[in-house]
Amino acid sequence: MAMRVEAIVAGAGPAGSLAAMLLARRGWQVLLVDRGPAGRRKTCGHCLGPRAVPLLRRHGLLAAVQAIAEGFTRRLSVRADGRRLIDTPIDLDSSSVKERGGGLVVDRRRLDPLLQEAAVAAGVEYVCPGVVVEPRLGDSLGSGVRVNVRTPGRAIAVEARLLVAADGVGSGVARALGWANAACAGRRFGVSFQCAGETVPTSALPPGTVSMRLRKEGYLGLVRQNDWVHAAALLRPGVELEPALRAFASDAEWLPSPTRGCSSLAGTGPLPWHATRMAAAGCALVGDAAGYAEPFTGEGMTWALESAELLVGAIPERASERRFDTTAAARYVERWQATIGAGQRRCRWLAQALDRPWLIAGVAAACRGFPPLAGQLVRSVVCA
Ligand SMILES: Cc1cc2nc3c(=O)[nH]c(=O)nc-3n(C[C@H](O)[C@H](O)[C@H](O)COP(=O)(O)OP(=O)(O)OC[C@H]3O[C@@H](n4cnc5c(N)ncnc54)[C@H](O)[C@@H]3O)c2cc1C
């Protein structure tokens, strides 16, 4: 079976669904394909950061996302080896960042379908389950790209002007195009799970607080999500899941671990991940597929949404120029580097700092001596 569309999007996470929706709203004929299964678990902390709020509003999605939100984030508390380092609002009130406020807690099993439905409502054709494989690029003017889409029971040869690879960390499309090598992936792994909310005292984890706990094994983030406590952790190289979670749980007896009645365990990695190339005529990587640093700042979904916006913004609006040529590709890469790339570099420095306990202890002492510093730090890291 063969098919011709204007754009094919591989992956219907936040990046792929928003890119598909924005292209369709520009009048493009778009095919969005996800490996599935529908309603899959996704390794994520479920915290949609403050910068995502105005972005969703810009595209008319905020009210729908707020309607499915199961909590909010207004405060950040960081502890190292059980000792308090930072406890500060992320509910910002300076005029330049006023609109951003805090963030939302949104379950990925509800957010991703919501964004997929918004894409379909904009006219996108959605295929799930389906896997995009064997991408082949056309000429430097963006004349076209070919891929195969494998679905249960049929294979579709698809020709398009633009292939958007939104297939997440370790992007199969990037690897098939030769845009990644062994050095592109780090050696850390992420996990997420949840436990019943009543097992965690409200005094230890009040609603609206993101609690980050640092240890030599990695870090664990906790947030209340309706009747649940949702947890996500990053494990340092060579650290195994069960011992790491036992180590976290040794900080406080109420801390959740999968061995104590927790559910919905999901994992991903290795992290960090980045591609050696991000765009060419006829093809671009968005979201985690382009690069993902660390979950500490909780920006992954925001970067994913921002990259989709940057990609579509890099394409001329006139219907006669409806293609992704080398100029559009260069424009996208330049804007990505200046914004998301800068954010990911900042996140990587932070991750390196977290690996140095003496530095963390120094920052904590400075924050205790001058409390406004903690707020400034959070502002510059989470809201920059
Ligand atoms: C431990 C941990 C905690 C995190 N916590 C947070 C947080 O609190 N807040 C936050 O904002 N971010 C967080 N993140 C990051 C966030 O989950 C990601 O950045 C975000 O999901 C990226 O979205 P995406 O659309 O790029 O990719 P994804 O959400 O990964 O979606 C990719 C999609 O592509 C599909 N796919 C893959 N290959 C193919 C193929 N060949 N063909 C078709 N479909 C394909 C997959 O099925 C998937 O649905 C966390 C990450 C980790 C590891």
pLDDT of the chain along its 384 residues, tens only?
A: 899 999 999 999 999 999 999 999 999 999 999 999 988 889 999 999 989 999 999 999 999 999 999 999 988 898 888 888 888 887 554 433 444 468 999 999 999 999 999 999 999 999 999 999 999 998 766 678 999 999 998 999 999 999 999 999 999 999 999 999 888 999 999 999 998 898 899 999 999 999 999 888 999 999 999 999 999 999 999 998 888 888 888 877 788 766 667 888 899 999 999 999 999 999 999 999 999 998 999 999 999 999 999 999 999 988 777 889 999 999 999 999 999 999 999 888 888 887 776 777 777 677 767 766 666 666 565 554
Q: Whose CA is nearest to atom 19 of ligand 1?
A: 300
Task: Report the alpha-carbon distance of residue 192 to residue 180 in Å, rounded.
Answer: 26
Which CATH number fits the domain that encloses residue 120? Answer: 3.50.50.60
> What's the pLDDT score for residue 45?
96
Is residue 11 within 8 Å of 287, Cβ to Cβ? yes
pLDDT of residue 93: 46
CB crowding 206-233: b at 16 or more within 10 Å, else e = ebbbbbbbbbebbbbbbbbbeebbbbbb
Please indicate whether residue 190, judged by its CB atom, sits closer than 6 Å to ligand 1. yes
The reply to whether ligand 1 has any atom less than 6 angstroms from the CB of 71 is no
* Three-state DSSP class for residue 208: coil
Which pLDDT score is estimated for 249? 82
Query: Does the beta carbon of 168 lie inside 6 Å of ligand 1?
Result: yes
Query: How far is ligand 1, taken at its centre, from the CA of residue 166, in Å?
Result: 9
Asked if residue 33 lies in contact with residue 12, where contact means CB atoms within 8 angstroms, the answer is yes
In DSSP notation, 153-193 reads TEEEEEEESEEEE---TT-HHHHHTT---GGGEEEEEEEEE
Is 251 part of any domain? no
For position 119, what pLDDT does the model report? 98
Is the shortest distance between the CB of 14 and ligand 1 below 6 Å? yes
Q: Determine the pLDDT at residue 94.
A: 42
In a domain, 313, yes or no: yes
* CA 129 to chain CA mean position, Å: 21
101 within domain boundaries? no
Is 376 part of a structural domain of the chain?
Answer: no
Report which of 20, 35, 12, 7 is spatially closest to residue 159, judged by C-alpha positions.
7
Domain residues for the domain of 340 are 2-41+62-69+108-181+273-350
Residue 279 is assigned to a structural domain of this protein: yes
Give alpha helix (H) positions in 40-101: 52-58, 62-68
Neighbours of 348 (CB within 10 A): 15
Query: Which helix (H) or strand (E) covers residue 51, if one does?
Result: none
Number of structural domains in the chain: 1
> If you measure from the C-alpha of residue 248 to the centroid of ligand 1, how many angstroms do you get, rounded to a whole number?
25
Please report whether residue 317 resides in a domain. yes
In a domain, 311, yes or no: yes
Q: Considering the domain boundaries, does residue 150 fall inside one? A: yes
Phi and psi dihedrals of 306, rounded to 5? -65, -40
320 CA distance to ligand 1 middle (Å):
33
Distance (Å, rounded) from C-alpha 31 to C-alpha 212? 39
